[in-house]
Amino acid sequence: PSYYRLKYNLEVSDVTQVQTELCDPNTSILQYFFGDSTLYLFHISQSECRVIEISVKNLEEEIIQFHALLAEPLDDYNSFESYTRLANGLYEKLLAPALNDVPAGQDKLIVIPDGVLNYLPFQTLLAQQWEDTSSEARYDLLPYLILNYSISYGYSCSLLLEQAAIAQQKSRANRLAAFAPVFKGELAENRSSTDLNQLVYSEEEVRYISKLFKGKSYIGNEASLSNFLKDLASHTILHL
């Protein structure tokens, strides 16, 4: 049911809900959408939502070239120069229209790409043109975007909201459920020679970590499949 709901849920997220539940003062969401002839950038922060039109002229070719340079980086200066030119050009085209107006301190980005943008690692782009006269390929000195922003990716705002709700639900749930199917007395005598040997001290271990994490412990007959399935979704740590 959960998989079906995630795959076929066509409900569109409300902007106010996205701003409230996904954005904090330090976070911006950049969601891209390819139209027939234009790329649209939805820039969502806690205080505003803007739609920016971006030209798609030569965009796919530039991303393909950039991806090739990343896949097989070369130390020659011509390749290095091509990398810095494309990395800054793609930044200016895809990110600058939104980030140029971002207030200081807003250093977290959630990128939701579309189409060919799924092949672009935004963290490798350059917010500045590289100016160096040494003619050396110094990739280690470049001002990559990842140095200024914490960047994460998502498939859609709706899915991010769903994930946030699940995480919040789990945070309210019990953290630990620990299981120790200890065999003693009659249970031990009735085991066949093909059974696995008893795990010595497993009961003591489960009782100790349950106390440490303030969780549930299931010992002996209580360490059953039915109890495991019952607690599977509501506990963040399962110890077997």
Interval 189-211: pLDDT, tens:
555 555 556 677 888 898 888 88
Within 8 A by CB and 6+ apart from 56, the residues are: 34, 37, 38, 39
pLDDT of residue 191: 53
Report the 10 Å Cβ neighbour count for 186. 7
Exposed, middle or buried, 57 (CB in 10 Å: 0-12/13-18/19+)? exposed
pLDDT of residue 223: 87
pLDDT of residue 172: 56
Phi, psi (degrees; rounded to nearest 5) at 239: -110, 120
Average pLDDT, integer, range 217-230: 87
In the predicted model, is pLDDT for residue 173 greater than 60?
no
Higher pLDDT among residues 8 and 16, named by residue: 16
Interval 107-151: pLDDT, tens:
899 999 999 999 999 999 999 888 876 778 888 889 999 999 999
Is the distance from CB of 47 to CB of 102 less than 8 angstroms?
no
Mean pLDDT across the chain, nearest whole number? Answer: 84
In the predicted model, is pLDDT for residue 169 greater than 90?
no
Is the distance from CB of 224 to CB of 234 less than 8 angstroms?
no
Phi-psi category of 135—alpha, beta or left, where left has phi over 0 and alpha has psi -120 to 50? left
Exposed, middle or buried, 177 (CB in 10 Å: 0-12/13-18/19+)? buried
Interval 51-104: pLDDT, tens:
999 999 999 999 999 999 988 877 788 888 899 999 999 999 999 999 988 887
In the predicted model, is pLDDT for residue 187 greater than 50?
no
